[in-house]
Structure 1
Amino acid sequence: MSLQFGFSMNAFREYSTVGAIDAVADAGYDGIELLFDQPFLYPPEATGEEYDEVRAALDRNDVAISNCNAFMLTAIEDFHHPSFVEVDEDYRQRRIDYTRDSLDAAAELDCDYISIEPGGPVPEEKSYEWGMETFVDALAELAPHAEEVGVDLLVEPEPDLLIETSSQFLDLMDRVDSDAIGCNFDAGHLFCVDEDPAELVETLGPYTEHYHLEDIPADREHEHTQLGDGAMDIDGFLEAVEDSGYDDYVTVELYPYQETAAETAQGAMDYLRDHGWT
């Protein structure tokens, strides 16, 4: 098999940065998704010592960075706020500034991309069109810096946010003018909005640099579920990714399992091994 697998650090918020890297390596993953948020390396406040600590732990465990997650932002408020589509311009700018700092952090760690939220929740008093225009403006502000430091911005469609579906993502791509903007393809998110992730691999492939994977319950509620415990055709999706020629990282993202993070990471790896993917 040509695919490589990572596990996201966002399930390990009860761990130290080094402890999370050690646990993901112990479970047998090739890579780890770094979470650019407290209590881990938080780009606006990160020190040289923290960067060195991350590099040392990665080297010691022979683990690579599968992705840099600049989506969640609990250091300021929560997963989705501040967003790129806040009505308050100053609050919106805090998300933009954090994302610029995250681009620099990824460059410091020699990572080629960061994943970001797809705009955010559209304010009740605003329209989808307003949200898209506002998000495009934010990306236009960030894209020159992304190009300068050589780190791409991967927009991750998510249920209940500005960009939920593949067609909305393609709408976004028609509006942006930078090769530094791409897709973080989250299979479960697209399944939640009644799309077939396997069929979308070809459609979104030209924009996709990284994949997220989790299972989702049969009712398609947005609930990240252990591999094999939901209703997704995980093997069919991974076959489509492999057949596309993609040979980089698929990161398992199971952040709801923070009380059993290490066991959950191991269980997901067991599933991948049992199904012949590693």
Structure 2
Amino acid sequence: MKLAFSTNAYLRFPFDEVAERIASLGYEGLELLADVPHAWPAGLLEGPKRAILSAMERNGLTFSNVNAFMMNAVNDARQPYWYPSFIEPDPHYRSVRIDHTRRAISLCAELGAPHITTEPGGPLAPGQSRAEAIDLFVEVLKPLAEHAHNLGVLLLIEPEPGLLLETSDQYLEVAERVNAPSIGLNYDVGHAYCVSEDIPLAIAKLAPQIRHYHLEDIAATRVHHHMVPGTGAIDFPEVFAAIRKTGYDGWLTVELYPFGDDPDAAARGAFEFLSPLMAPANGA
């Protein structure tokens, strides 16, 4: 397993500086934010793409993931991360999310990253039934999954509290209906804790689907607010033991976007807490 850090905590810094900071703290990988100010796909020219790759190489970093969940560039007044969503009733506004995701998939392939993560459908709109929203979400995902498959990358869904898909079982319902080899799960440990999921059990059950992990801590209240690992209530030794049992050897990306005022301190604290857990238990 390898530790990475998401650039969504570093919105006040240009990408080349972000890469240097993350590498200096000891991380092997970096999750690229497909959004302003780092890599908004709709406005990313060839020069900035080459500069991103150059900064990664210069700092000895590898892409853990491309984060296409957030859409700060659109800046919807309701919530700039969730909206527009895949289940927007307005087809024209819905297409903004769809087109962004398609561009992010293409960017992922161009940069040589393994996959993108995306939202699990936004909150239900007034008068929208869950069944209608699921049907719409599935139909929207199918051509995106095909696009990802054609480019050799994965499209990972990330369940989140308050959105259409909150739990692992809800993810499975959609994944089975889409039935595409390019669809996978981004298992966010903090989100799972918020919805009171049995995390070790879920990890074991979903191991064939999990292609990437997000890590953050959550308070004992289970309120969805990302905290530095080791400062909340999640039992990370138990989580790491569960991941290790599945044989997973991919990326664990720390996601601490609320810490924009001092992202270095948050990233450093997370690294110092999580690094000892990366070693196999008892040297095994």
TM-score (norm 2): 0.95
Match of 2:103?
101
Q: Structure 1 residue 88: deviation in Å?
A: 0.3
Matches of 1:69 and 1:276, distance apart in 2: 23
Match of 1:31?
29
CA contact (8 A) 2:5 2:267 kept: yes
Match of 2:184?
182
Show structure 2 runs of 5+ residues with no match: none
Q: Structure 1 residue 153: deviation in Å?
A: 0.7
1:10 paired to 2:8? yes
Match of 1:68?
66
1:214-273: CA deviations, max 9, x gaps? 000001000101111100011110111112101010001111000010111011111123
Match of 1:151?
153
1:61-102: CA deviations, max 9, x gaps? 111001100000011121011110001000001100000000
Match of 1:172?
174
- Does the residue aligned with 1:270 lie in a helix, a strand or coil? helix
Match of 1:231?
233
Matches of 1:72 and 1:213, distance apart in 2: 17
Match of 1:162?
164
Matches of 2:268 and 2:38, distance apart in 1: 21
Match of 2:269 among 267, 270, 273: 267
TM-score (norm 1): 0.97
Q: Structure 1 residue 112: deviation in Å?
A: 1.8
Within a 5 Å distance, the mapping from 1:219-258 to structure 2 comes to 219-258=221-260
Match of 2:42?
44
Task: Letter of the 1:244 partner, please give it.
Answer: T
- Does the residue aligned with 1:164 lie in a helix, a strand or coil? coil
- Does the residue aligned with 2:83 lie in a helix, a strand or coil? coil
Aligned residues: 276
Matches of 1:204 and 1:123, distance apart in 2: 29
Show structure 1 runs of 5+ residues with no match: none
Matches of 2:276 and 2:153, distance apart in 1: 35
Matches of 1:84 and 1:129, distance apart in 2: 14
Task: Letter of the 2:207 partner, please give it.
Answer: G
Matches of 1:198 and 1:213, distance apart in 2: 14
Matches of 1:275 and 1:202, distance apart in 2: 18
Q: 1:275–1:269: structure 2 CA closer, same or farther, 3 Å change rule?
A: same
Match of 1:204?
206
Identity %, equivalent residues: 40
CA contact (8 A) 2:19 2:55 kept: yes
- Does the residue aligned with 2:228 lie in a helix, a strand or coil? coil
Task: Letter of the 2:51 partner, please give it.
Answer: E
Match of 2:119 among 114, 117, 120: 117
Q: Structure 1 residue 275: deviation in Å?
A: 4.4
CA contact (8 A) 2:240 2:277 kept: no
- Does the residue aligned with 1:206 lie in a helix, a strand or coil? coil
- Does the residue aligned with 1:130 lie in a helix, a strand or coil? helix
Matches of 1:197 and 1:255, distance apart in 2: 22
Matches of 1:275 and 1:171, distance apart in 2: 32
Q: Structure 1 residue 274: deviation in Å?
A: 4.5
Matches of 1:177 and 1:273, distance apart in 2: 36
RMSD between aligned residues: 1.1
- Does the residue aligned with 2:224 lie in a helix, a strand or coil? coil
Match of 2:17?
19
CA contact (8 A) 2:64 2:114 kept: no
Matches of 2:183 and 2:72, distance apart in 1: 24
